[in-house]
Chain A
């Protein structure tokens, strides 16, 4: 029993993360193949939409993987191969949206909200400190005030004893 689990464990360690790339797609040149894999991870499968073409089993994803490899073999740079796909499928095919005017909100919105939060915290804490400063008496108590305060405190103590 222990032997069987050990064998299974060993086998599972051998398993690589799942990708949809089929053996017949793989290029002979390992350098080109690794570039192709890199690009495939950046390209959206338009059928499944939330998978890269590297992950997807859709036929269109396979076609696009083959197309990327074909462009690389034909001597395209990574950028040229990406531009080729992007010219056909638009920005949506890029899993990492480009920084441009229409995506400013997407890219800088979250950091803007963080800064707005920090600003609110600073303003409210500063205001609270100012209010606290205004509440502390500036002049010391006069002698009449002091006797009245002592009397009041003494009364308080009496009440406390009785309770």
Chain B
């Protein structure tokens, strides 16, 4: 019994090492959203001008999130490099998977944003421009890109901060969108 006690410091040390080792893989940017399972904030944004898409003159408002069908809201900006990286995935979500994706254009110049969409493709159903960033604060956005999954009743099911990856898209977003439908 006493003999075993001598191993206690070693065991504690290994425990701490394991704890820190696990910490190496955790992403400090992975903050929990305060709005999960809560209704999306009330908002109304003017449309981003200069897009090619039909109905592009309509702004984006909360009523667009309560159509009974799950939607994805993607917060992006033309000055944001990870947004370029994740753009093919947003495109795939909208065009190949048939999910309605709305955009919130965060603290951007409208002409730069429209040019960006022309250059990289425009997967968004509606894009609201949030030049002051105020609406994004109501969403709890702390950086771009961020992606939200909203059920048909306007409740936020999931938030991903940072660029999308194929894993996130397939394991988190698609099941939620298909499941909430």
A interface, CB within 8 angstroms of B: 46-47, 49, 59-60, 63-64, 67, 86-92
Contacts and interface: CB of A to CB of B under 8 A. Distances in A.
Contact of B31 (A59, A63, A90): A90
A64 B132 CA distance: 11
Chain B interface mostly helix, strand, loop or mixed? loop
Interface of B: 28, 31-35, 41, 107, 132-134, 137-140, 142-143
A72 to B, nearest CB: 16
Among B33, B107, B138, B142, chain A packs the most CB atoms within 10 A around the CB of B142
Contacts of A91: 34
Given A88-B34, A90-B33, A90-B34, A63 B133 contact: yes
Given A46-B31, A63-B134, A90 B140 contact: yes
B140 A88 contact: yes
Contacts of B31: 46, 90, 92
Q: Which 10 A-B pairs have CB atoms at the shortest separation, nearest pair first?
A: A90-B34, A46-B142, A88-B140, A89-B140, A63-B133, A92-B31, A89-B34, A60-B142, A47-B143, A88-B137
Nearest to A67: B137
